[in-house]
Amino acid sequence: MAVTLFPTTTYPSPSPPKLRSHSSHPSPPVPCHSRPTNRCGGGSSKHLTAAAASGAGTAIPAPPHSNISEELRQLYECCSYWKWKGFDINFLVKGTAGPPLLLIHGFGASVGHWRRNIEVLSEGYTVYAIDLLGFGASEKPEGFSYTMETWSQLILDFVDEVIKKPTILIGNSIGSLACVIATSESTKGLVRGLVLLNCAGGMNNKAIVDDWRIKLVLPLLWLIDFLLKQRAIASPIFERVKQRETLKNVLLSVYGNKESVDEELVEIIKRPADDAGALDAFVSIVTGPPGPNPVTLMPRISIPVLVLWGDQDPFTPLDGPVGKYFSSLPSQFPNVQLHVLEGAGHCPHDDRPNLVHEKLLPWLASLPAL
């Protein structure tokens, strides 16, 4: 999701691998690779075992909510923790022993937001999905200053330490931008392909100052920043924002296919917002620096790039500066392909997954073999 929905750090040395489960689930979870029936798919046992050796923790049980389907519950059962710079990062792995893909969600989302894609992609690929620090079931450290550079480094370290193979990165919104930054900074050949779904122009809308629509409301954005930094003000605002009815209305405004906005989607967004540290993440992301601009980064990227763009996106519209820039790339760089997806909004992978798969799967199949 985009930051508009509501909205170089020094870290300690990585800690030794540590097993951890959610405190809200007192029973010890069972790792996917030790279950009699492996719901994670043919090759996931091997990959989870390898991930565990790289610092991954125990599997995470599905949250006890009635608003999620059995299919999503099974995906949650394929999740484990990976220790990164002292923080617990939630990730999922599912599929065959095919080439690895890494799915990166947008603002407010998590691995569950790929619920309509993972099964299809795992038929021919080893699919990893990760909750960025501050989102989903990953840790939400209080007082942490979130930046795009932090998330891009997390992605590179995950590929290097857990996947351990050149990987295709697939991102949505700010997850796309994190993938762009990671790819532009990778020096180890960790990324072999890049898929961008309605890429964001920055961590928040202050990055898009050359859009007349943003210029009109820029003073209001700065005022909101000031107010959100007052915890007594930010807390009730956040409580209102994360109400189910509010979330559903926002989702309906950014999805082209309104039928895709179901109670399960609301639950996927709502549940992590109730975690300790979620308010701090919200404030830090909305009020923080927007981060590197994709316009300066894309010319550095020479690997194959697929750009998919929903034409009903109100946050990064095709006629806005970010949409116009990405629309122009195929005429400038032969490694970039672009497809506009009719009737899709800001999150086309969940909004109109069939249109995404129709363009994504042939592109993946066309990449040179590892």
Q: How many CB atoms lie within 10 A of CB 45?
A: 17
> For position 56, what pLDDT does the model report?
54
Look up residue 149 and give its two tokens: 């550079």
Q: What is the pTM of this model?
A: 0.83
Q: What is the mean pLDDT of residues 140-153?
A: 96
For strands 305-310 and 336-341, give the pairing: parallel
> For position 290, what pLDDT does the model report?
87
pLDDT digits (tens, 9 = 90+) for 251-268: 999 999 999 999 999 999
Q: What is the mean pLDDT of residues 337-345?
A: 98
Does residue 340 surpass a pLDDT of 90?
Answer: yes
Does residue 370 surpass a pLDDT of 80?
Answer: no
| Domains in the chain with CATH codes | 16-366 (3.40.50.1820)
Q: What is the mean pLDDT of residues 300-317?
A: 96
Contact 207, 7 (CB under 8 A): no
Q: What is the mean pLDDT of residues 214-243?
A: 69
pLDDT digits (tens, 9 = 90+) for 3-60: 333 332 333 333 333 333 333 332 222 333 322 233 465 444 444 444 444 455 554 4
The CA–CA distances, whole Å, from 178 to 36, 151, 199, 251, 271 equal: 37, 6, 9, 22, 23
Q: Which of 38-47, 188-197, 336-345 has the lowest mean pLDDT?
A: 38-47
